[in-house]
Every structure is written in C-alpha cells, then in structure tokens.
Structure 1
Amino acid sequence: MSQAPTHDRLMIYGAYGYTGELIAREAVARGMAPVLAGRNEQKTGALAQELSVEARVFDLDKDAISGQLADIDVVIHCAGPFSATAPPMIAACLASQTHYLDITGEIEVFEHLFAQHEAAVAAGVVLCSGAGFDVVPTDCVAARLVEEMPEAQHLALGFDTRSGLSPGTAKTTVEGLAGGGKIRRDGRIETVKLAAQTRRIDFGDGEKAAMTIPWGDVATAYHSTGIPNISVFMPMSPKRITQVQRLNLIRPVLGFGPVQNFLKKRAGQVQGPDQSTREKRPTHVWGEATDANGGTCTARIKVANGYTVTRDASLALAQRLLEQAPAGGAYTPSRLAGWRFVESLPGSQPMTISRV
C-alpha cells in the first residue's frame, strides 16, 4: 500500500470565507504556517499578506488543481457549496496523497466521501468530512451512546444554539429546503417532509419544542454507530415549526433556479456572529439511544459556539493528521479521534450520561 508523503504542510482552501478566515487566523496564532488558498485572487492574497503566509489561487477543476497539492500534507476544505466543491477536492487529494478534511454538514457530501473509502485505503489517504460543528459534537455523542448501549435500534441527536448564521451556512440552508427533510430508517436514508417529526426535548437548557432537520448525522452517525434508525432535532418555537411545515406545500417551487438564486442572494447578506457574540452563545448538544425494549440512554454536553467548535476541531484534527495519521480510508470524526475528542475542545464541559 502506498503511503502519503510527509511535508508537514497544511492548506486551508476557501480561507477568506467567514469560517475559513476564523480557521486561518487561529492557525497562525498557534504558530502554524498554513498555505491559504481560494478562487478569489484579491481576497486570498490580502489575507495571506496580512498573516504573512503563502497564498495560492486556483479553481476546483481538474486542470487547475493539478500540482497545487503536491507538497501539501493536509487540506482543510472550507469552500462551499460542498455538494459542488468537495468531489473535485477529494479526487485531487486522492491523486496527490493529501489527507482531506472539510467542514460540511451536507448529507450528500458525506455519502460521496464514504463511497471513496476503498480508493482512500489504496492511496493511504484519510478522508473526513464534518470536521467542525457539523458534525463533531453530535457524532461524538452518538459514539458515546452506542458504547453505553450497543444494542440500540434508534438514535435521536440534536443541538440548541442561539448562534447566528454565516453567509455560507445560510446558503446551504436555502439549498436544503428543496430537498425536504431526511431521516434514516432501517439503515436507509429517506426523504420526508420538512419538520416531519416534532417533540419536546431538554437539550441541556430546559425543555423546548423541537423538529427534525436534515442534518449530517443522518449520514455519519450510521457509520459511527451502526444504529439503523436516526433522526436529528433542533429547537424551534411552535409558530416557527408550523411555518416550516407549511413550506412543504411549495417545496417543489423552492428548487427552481430563479427562486434558489433569489434566496441565496438574500442569504449572502447575512453577517456571521462576531467574536463577542460567539463567546456569549455556547451550544447544548443532546442525544438519545433507544433499544428494542424501549430502554433509553441520554447524553448531553455543553460546548462552545458552533463556529468556535468548527475552528478548533478542524485544526485539532489537522494537527492529528500532520503528526500521526491512521491508515487511509473514509472516517467520521469520532472514528478518527474517539468520542472524547469533543471533551478536549476549548469551551467543552464533560459529557453526562443517564440511562432509563
């Protein structure tokens, strides 16, 4: 089996986006010297010059990527929409034997990555999507729950956050509306109505109304745990849940190009939370495993703001790969670093477990 070359070099692609810039600045603050890359020459160059690191400008097509990763050990891919950008970057990483991380939460991207497992094994390359808030905390909760209840047949996960959205996250949310809700039933991912399931949940900050969302764990938690039935929840006021459910009536229209373009233009005007807001708004993460007899096991953990988690988790996983990468293959975050990884992140409290 071929082995990935060792250059001890990190590339952050999409470094001038909201989250990419957070990661780039923190990497430099930690004494790293990442290569900052992206499609926009002016934005990439300006940030790299400010941080006194190397800049590379290239598009994500086969000819443009060729040779750009030859001396790179690990890529943190931050340029969305990942449904369009992840496949060519993954292919380039496999060709150049460069380990790959991204910060997506898109189910289709996770499924594409898992389909590359054999190619990654052959290349000696680690592929891991969801190396940020999507899906590190929830994935680690899932892994902890299956350790406690290996016979679980149903898994519910969720999070309660008051953090605002970055432009990229807002655009991804717009894309997801037309695709409907997603759950995993009997091992298969199924499309369901938006807000198809509702229930009241105490995520760790008091009981609240919640609805199902098409979150990345519908894909990843199955690979981390083998539990065949998975759904993901987030809190929402009853009024907002009703509004989301009404979107099911016009969901086909939401997929039309002009409608998507209009909504994405509006989403692009969103401003991501500033440092003060991030520091004041941590996240409560929750999970519940249920066995065939109705027994339940619940896990909760309080972590930092989602964007702070993404910054710290992606860099910690990159550092892990730079220092001692495991055998090549497609990984989930908990498979790559263990469920305790989430507890090691700045701002995280110990995970609590209760069983009924």
Structure 2
Amino acid sequence: MNNKNIMIYGAYGYTGELIARQAVAQGFRPILAGRNAQKLQPLADALNLPAMAIDLDTAEILERSLQDIYLVIHCAGPFSTTAEPMMRACLNSRTHYQDITGEIDVYEAAQRLDGAAKTAGIVLCPGTGFDVIPTDCLAAALHNALPSATHLTLGFDSDSKLSPGTAKTSIESLGIGGAIRRNGKIETIGHGQLTRRIDFGRGDKFAVAIPWGDISTAYHSTGIQNIEAYIPMSPARAKKLKHLNGFRWLLRSRWLQNWLKSKVGRSVQGPTEELRAGQKTWVWGEVRNDRRGERKVGRVTTANGYDVTVSGSLSVMQYLLDYRGEGGYFTPSKLCGPKLVESLPGSSAIDIKIA
C-alpha cells in the first residue's frame, strides 16, 4: 500500500464520509480533516483514523497543516467559498488537489491557476465525482469520434435524491441563472430558457438546460466552442422554474440564501445505501458540425451519482499516488483518459453512434 499521506477535508459531510469509509475499506488510512472538531472526531474514532480540525480562513495555518500531505480530496462545500483557499494552500505546500465540486466558477478558478500549478509541479483536478467524470469522459470520447465538432450537448437522467451539500449548491444557483458556452465564452441565461427533447437512454423526455460543470470542463477537455447541458424535467416544473427569473435579484440576497440553506440542513438527507444501490444514471451526449451536417450521439450508464463520486474520487486518488507527469490544471478525462468512467463500478462502456 502506498504510504503517501492523503487528507480528506470535509470528511464528516454526507459524501466526504462515504469516501472516507470506502478508502478505509480499500486499505487506505487517510487523515480526516474539517472545520468542526466535534463533528470530525466521532468519524475518526469509528474508523480509527487520525483527525485534524483546520479552518480555511487562515492561510498560514492551512499551509502548515498540508506540509506533509501528498494529496487532498476536498469535500467541504460550498466550494464557491472553500475551493480557492484550499487550492492556493496546496500550491504553496506542493500538495496535489482534487475535489467533488460541480460549480462552474470553481473550475474556471482552477484553470486560472494552471500556470502556478505547473510551476509548483502539482495537479489541480476539481470535479472528480459525478460532477463531472461521466459527462467529461463522454465529451472527450465524442470529440475523439468527431474531432471537427463545433457544438457539444450533454445531459443525464437520474432518480437520485440530493444530499444536503448538493441541495445547498443548487440554492446558490437560483439567484444566478443558467449557463451555456457560446463561441468559446460562458454566457448566463434565464432559468428554463432553453428546452429540448432528449432520449437519455430510457425514452424520449422533455429536458431543460442547467448550469452543469461541463460548461467549463468540457471546453477545456475538447476545445469545442459551443456547449449546453440538460436534465429531464416536466414542462409544468420548467414553467415554474422560468417564473423564478423575475426574482433572481431576491434569490441572490444573503439572508434568503442563508434561510433556504438552513431549511436544507434541517430537512434534507442524502440517499441511503439501499436506495443508491437500486438507482442507475443515464448519461447522454451529442456532438455535431453544422457546416458539414455531421452528428454523433453517445451514451454511458453509471451507478448512482454519489457512488460514482466515491469510486471516481478514489480512482483519481490512486492514479495520482503513482503520478509522474507535469503539474497543472486537469479535467478528469485530461488526467486519466476518457475510459475512466468505464472503469468505475456499475458503469457501462461508452457507446457512440452516427445520428
């Protein structure tokens, strides 16, 4: 077993705990870390692992805590607040960084740190979970199948419940709107503004564009200039979502954000192991070159998104434990290759067809 020190930060959150428990099951002994010692210690005791209570607000203390850490799996949201301090601390301590975010702004921040990561010789790879391993790998495979593609559309269909952390991230997006990439630039659009019908893998469904992480990552993985991402949604719910556009100014307010997140904290729990075991995810993608009239469609089926996040994070971790390449910002497919998703438990092979 590799003896390089691994830290799981935010280990007592829903997904952080799943990753910590599976890491132990695979024979690893990560250091568990987070901001709240009282929440952290019971898990550390249960798993017989070392624990460190570390606040992200003091850069000097954080960097000192990472001096002997080879790699951090960052699981503490909201990543819009926590990711950049941890990434900068990893740069200064020369610690590889990965996280489980799905937030576009975090990916773009990591990409802006590419030069610094190259200089430090460390990898920055945000999004090593369901956000965005399956869609990122499918995007890369589709681009390989149609290198001249000018447009990429991605999406997924799942019955999974949200964890508290994912629900809180969704609340943050309410005041911002949707997102697409047009001619290489990320553009904000209204909630429910773009719709289409898609067969994700279990029948044709009405779908709505969402600000999924691939609006950032798929561009860096493929270079395709025009990108959209979709999930299925009933037309009635899409209409309600569209009505929120007139209140985005209010939904951005700190007091309302805090109130909504407090309700999530009291009422939302992630899916049980039994529920996750019975839920698959259907991932779909399309590339096209309108000038040439070429179009290809790809699909891959995965396990429940949270199980993908656990297995994906640990797969990338194991890849980095033996890493000998250069530093920099990487998407999962750029770091580990498009077949990464196929190697995860519960995943099918990527299937691409001419449409």
1:135 aligns with 2:132: yes
Distance in 1 between the 2:75 and 2:103 partners? 13
- Pairs within 5 Å for 1:285-324: 285-292=283-290, 293-324=292-323
> Which residue type is aligned with residue 194 of structure 1?
H
> Which residue type is aligned with residue 274 of structure 2?
S
1:258 aligns with 2:255: yes
1:34 aligns with 2:43: no
Distance in 2 between the 1:325 and 1:88 partners? 25
Distance in 2 between the 1:182 and 1:63 partners? 35
Give the length in aligned residue pairs: 351
Distance in 2 between the 1:66 and 1:250 partners? 40
Paired residue secondary structure (2:156): strand
Structure 2 match to 1:8: 4
Is the contact between residue 8 and residue 75 of structure 2 (CA under 8 Å) also seen in structure 1?
yes
Distance in 2 between the 1:347 and 1:139 partners? 17
> Which residue type is aligned with residue 84 of structure 2?
P
Distance in 1 between the 2:33 and 2:137 partners? 30
- Pairs within 5 Å for 1:1-356: 8-61=4-57, 62-268=59-265, 269-292=267-290, 293-356=292-355
Instruction: Using structure 2 for the length normalisation, give the TM-score.
Output: 0.97
Paired residue secondary structure (1:196): coil
CA deviations over 1:237-290 (Å, ceiling 9, x no partner):
111111111111211111111211121112222110000000111100000001
Q: How big is the shift at 1:294?
A: 3.1
Q: How big is the shift at 1:325?
A: 4.2
Distance in 1 between the 2:335 and 2:242 partners? 36
Distance in 2 between the 1:255 and 1:64 partners? 32
Paired residue secondary structure (1:171): helix
CA deviations over 1:274-326 (Å, ceiling 9, x no partner):
00000111100000001023321100010000000000000110111012242
Paired residue secondary structure (1:176): helix
Q: How big is the shift at 1:64?
A: 2.9
> Which residue type is aligned with residue 258 of structure 1?
W
Is the contact between residue 207 and residue 231 of structure 2 (CA under 8 Å) also seen in structure 1?
yes
Is the contact between residue 7 and residue 72 of structure 1 (CA under 8 Å) also seen in structure 2?
no
- Unmatched segments (≥5 aa) in structure 1: 1-5
> Which residue type is aligned with residue 61 of structure 2?
A
Paired residue secondary structure (1:250): helix
Paired residue secondary structure (1:243): helix
Distance in 2 between the 1:103 and 1:258 partners? 26
CA deviations over 1:320-355 (Å, ceiling 9, x no partner):
101224210000000000000100000001111111
Paired residue secondary structure (2:131): coil
Distance in 2 between the 1:117 and 1:257 partners? 31
Distance in 2 between the 1:69 and 1:261 partners? 31
> Which residue type is aligned with residue 164 of structure 1?
K
Which stretch of the first structure deviates more once superposed, 222-231 or 254-263? 254-263
CA deviations over 1:67-114 (Å, ceiling 9, x no partner):
111111110000000011001100110011100000000000000000
Paired residue secondary structure (1:230): strand
Structure 2 match to 1:3: none
Q: CA RMSD in A?
A: 1.0
Distance in 2 between the 1:326 and 1:47 partners? 34
Paired residue secondary structure (1:179): coil
CA deviations over 1:101-149 (Å, ceiling 9, x no partner):
0000000000000000000000000000000000000000000000000
Q: How big is the shift at 1:7?
A: 6.0
Instruction: Using structure 1 for the length normalisation, give the TM-score.
Output: 0.97
Distance in 1 between the 2:297 and 2:324 partners? 32
Is the contact between residue 104 and residue 129 of structure 1 (CA under 8 Å) also seen in structure 2?
yes
Paired residue secondary structure (1:241): helix
Paired residue secondary structure (1:152): coil
Distance in 2 between the 1:66 and 1:134 partners? 27
Distance in 1 between the 2:223 and 2:323 partners? 27
Is the contact between residue 63 and residue 90 of structure 2 (CA under 8 Å) also seen in structure 1?
no
- Unmatched segments (≥5 aa) in structure 2: none
